[in-house]
Chains A and B, each alone.
Chain A
């Protein structure tokens, strides 16, 4: 079916769609809709071992059996028509280690997004995924010599099953939620990283996820294992062109921080306004390990994402720093999950959300400290900024602390950019968009300082663009 479907899809493409994108030209296409056949097709293309296919099939059953979580989450989830989505699109070639060998349209896409330039400037490794599969994957030779593995997950499963299989699906079980089950059934792409004991990767590793095709679902699966005393910073960026119809992005990201390890996971996503972004991210941190999620959510139609840390070892630390910007018609439903499962564990959640126009921000936080533990600490701060009176913001903190040997602190604030502030800024010569942009950047300023410089610049640019669009 592959060749014919690919051709048909290429003919039907809507060339008038906004932004930039390239005509579809795929060697492998799982077609529209989801069934056991789809799963078999994906597994077959990847030439997977039987246990993986079985894993996928079981996940599909779980997905089919689970209701939509609309009893607590947005009803908008009902608008995802799973049978209208294409679950696998690939050009059928292995990711290359040289940009020169990447197909022209894909290469141009990533060049326009500035990826090769960033790689030259400050990255230790890059993986670039185009729809379902990685097109480019490279890690600096020095790191490779130290035993650092940075490949796409398809290759990780094939080449490093002994590490992969041990942790795969362990941090986030298939049945964790409906969308993690969906991902487990049809996953493709994503990063697999292993950092050996004691290796401290100085420069960030970066993955870039790009959706090019309409009605497409991107289901990358990332697994990062950082061994004892090792350190890594991983960054992911995501974009898609503006489509007429809904696109689904549903990733699963599992992190494992062994004793004394440190992981910093940074996301800057800028999905177009038709993307449903339903992502499950969780880490497990062993003794004295530290995991930080730095999460910037800009764009998308609906984002649901609550990065979590399960602190399993004594003195483990978990942190979520998140910035969400909900523009007109968008809903950012984000937060954090902190599960304290050992003594003297510490968690910190700082969330800042901005709602513009009819944009809506929701914070959901779960902090769990059981009774039998001692000396756990949690700090949660969530601040919301409203720009104009239609905006909506909700906070649902769920902090369960049992026992009396813990310290928790929760602060929340809502503020508004007033007409008078905008007037003041305009009187100095800034137009409406510039004034709003400045206020928003000011609001998130203290968090942005946590970012590597290159990313804080990018985030500022994205905020400027969003504000320009919101003024129209």
Chain B
């Protein structure tokens, strides 16, 4: 079985408008891919479609995760099968403590009748919180309630670390982070890099990629991947903007049409 997150000719609508128009890319396990692109190109839509958000309708294409049909699964099944999305705007859940939330998520991965070992769980979580410089007192706070932008993003990474996904999509995890928080988040992601895990890092800015160095960079424009390159592509985009890539793509299209 191929150990890859494979997105093939994916098309998706929101409110009747087509946003993804035949997107194809592959993230093999062990690699970090970045998706960059101008505003409105469909970056966040891709993240939500992969997670199974109900507002988006898949109208064509396929997504498989290590050979399993991802689009055929419920939202929670995708998660338990090893798909993780770090949200751009994490939600508040009043009254539910971080510890209880993560614990419930871990419990959901156990078989019926199996109980999570609470002592081992806390030990593990405290260790990871220390890595992410999250104060241990946070375990008792309600999920994301009253958190700063940076705290929310660090909590996303903590959840990712605790759930150990096979593939993680980070949706603009760098937005709203100052440089110190960015480094901490990047360190967390880097610590998670492994031959058994793939990452898709969605970002608007090159800055994050200084810290999470990608193996491959894709440019998303109007719902399609229009260019793929190495990590140096990100630097080039930072320097020259997107216009040249778009132009290159449009010229190609014209050539094809002719």
What residues make up the interface of A, taking CB atoms closer than 8 Å to B? 415, 418-421, 423-432, 434, 438-439, 441-446
Give Cα A64 to B77, complex, Å: 58
Question: What are 24 A-B interface contacts by the 8 Å CB criterion?
Answer: A421-B93, A427-B51, A427-B78, A427-B84, A427-B87, A428-B105, A428-B108, A428-B163, A429-B79, A429-B80, A429-B105, A429-B163, A430-B76, A430-B108, A438-B96, A438-B100, A439-B95, A441-B96, A442-B93, A442-B94, A442-B95, A442-B96, A443-B94, A444-B95
The residue on B at minimum CB distance from A446 is B95
Asked whether, in the complex, the Cβ of A438 is within 8 Å of the Cβ of B79, the reply is no
Looking at chain B's contact residues, the main secondary structure is: mixed
User: B75 contacts which of A420, A423, A434, A446 (Cβ < 8 Å)?
Assistant: A423
Contact status of A443 and B95, CB under 8 A, knowing A424-B90, A427-B51: yes
Q: Which of B52, B85, B96, B142 has the most CB of A within 10 A?
A: B96
Task: List the B side residues contacting A444 at CB < 8 Å.
Answer: 95
Looking at chain A's contact residues, the main secondary structure is: helix
Give Cα A226 to B205, complex, Å: 70
Which 5 residue pairs of A and B lie closest in terms of their CB atoms, listed nearest first? A442-B95, A442-B96, A429-B79, A426-B75, A424-B91
Asked whether, in the complex, the Cβ of B96 is within 8 Å of the Cβ of A427, the reply is no
- Known: A415-B94, A428-B163, A429-B109; 17 extra A-B contacts, CB below 8 A, are A423-B75, A426-B75, A426-B76, A427-B76, A427-B78, A428-B104, A428-B105, A429-B105, A430-B76, A431-B74, A431-B76, A431-B108, A439-B95, A442-B93, A442-B95, A442-B142, A443-B95
Which residues from 89 to 122 on chain B have a C-beta closer than 8 Å to any C-beta of chain A? 90-96, 100-102, 104-105, 108-109
Contact status of A428 and B93, CB under 8 A, knowing A423-B53, A438-B100, A438-B101: no
Give Cα A37 to B84, complex, Å: 69
A15 to chain B, nearest CB (A): 29
The residue on B at minimum CB distance from A425 is B93
Task: List the B side residues contacting A421 at CB < 8 Å.
Answer: 91-93
A227 to chain B, nearest CB (A): 39
Asked whether, in the complex, the Cβ of B93 is within 8 Å of the Cβ of A429, the reply is no
Say yes or no: is B54 at the interface (Cβ < 8 Å to chain A).
yes
Task: List the A side residues contacting B100 at CB < 8 Å.
Answer: 438
What residues make up the interface of B, taking CB atoms closer than 8 Å to A? 51-54, 74-76, 78-80, 84-85, 87, 90-96, 100-102, 104-105, 108-109, 142, 159, 163
Give Cα A418 to B93, complex, Å: 10
Task: List the B side residues contacting A431 at CB < 8 Å.
Answer: 74, 76, 108
Asked whether, in the complex, the Cβ of A439 is within 8 Å of the Cβ of B79, the reply is no
Give Cα A32 to B149, complex, Å: 66
Task: List the A side residues contacting B78 at CB < 8 Å.
Answer: 427
Asked whether, in the complex, the Cβ of A441 is within 8 Å of the Cβ of B95, the reply is yes
Give Cα A425 to B91, complex, Å: 9
Task: List the B side residues contacting A425 at CB < 8 Å.
Answer: 93, 101
Asked whether, in the complex, the Cβ of A438 is within 8 Å of the Cβ of B54, the reply is no
Give Cα A443 to B93, complex, Å: 9
B150 to chain A, nearest CB (A): 19
Asked whether, in the complex, the Cβ of B91 is within 8 Å of the Cβ of A428, the reply is no
Give Cα A431 to B91, complex, Å: 17
A467 to chain B, nearest CB (A): 12
Task: List the B side residues contacting A423 at CB < 8 Å.
Answer: 51, 53-54, 75, 91
Task: List the A side residues contacting B94 at CB < 8 Å.
Answer: 415, 442-443
Task: List the B side residues contacting A418 at CB < 8 Å.
Answer: 91
User: B93 contacts which of A427, A434, A439 (Cβ < 8 Å)?
Assistant: A439
User: A427 contacts which of B75, B95, B102, B104 (Cβ < 8 Å)?
Assistant: B75
The residue on B at minimum CB distance from A421 is B91
The residue on B at minimum CB distance from A437 is B104
The residue on B at minimum CB distance from A418 is B91
B188 to chain A, nearest CB (A): 17
Task: List the B side residues contacting A420 at CB < 8 Å.
Answer: 91
Asked whether, in the complex, the Cβ of B79 is within 8 Å of the Cβ of A426, the reply is yes
Task: List the A side residues contacting B102 at CB < 8 Å.
Answer: 428
Asked whether, in the complex, the Cβ of B79 is within 8 Å of the Cβ of A427, the reply is yes
Task: List the B side residues contacting A427 at CB < 8 Å.
Answer: 51, 75-76, 78-79, 84-85, 87
Asked whether, in the complex, the Cβ of A430 is within 8 Å of the Cβ of B105, the reply is yes
A350 to chain B, nearest CB (A): 14
Task: List the A side residues contacting B84 at CB < 8 Å.
Answer: 427
The residue on B at minimum CB distance from A420 is B91
Give Cα A165 to B101, complex, Å: 52
The residue on A at minimum CB distance from B86 is A427
Task: List the A side residues contacting B54 at CB < 8 Å.
Answer: 419, 423
Task: List the A side residues contacting B52 at CB < 8 Å.
Answer: 426
The residue on B at minimum CB distance from A435 is B76
B75 to chain A, nearest CB (A): 4
Give Cα A106 to B87, complex, Å: 53
Task: List the B side residues contacting A428 at CB < 8 Å.
Answer: 79, 101-102, 104-105, 108, 159, 163
Asked whether, in the complex, the Cβ of B104 is within 8 Å of the Cβ of A438, the reply is yes
B236 to chain A, nearest CB (A): 33
Q: Which of A418, A425, A446 has the most CB of B within 10 A?
A: A425
Asked whether, in the complex, the Cβ of B108 is within 8 Å of the Cβ of A429, the reply is yes
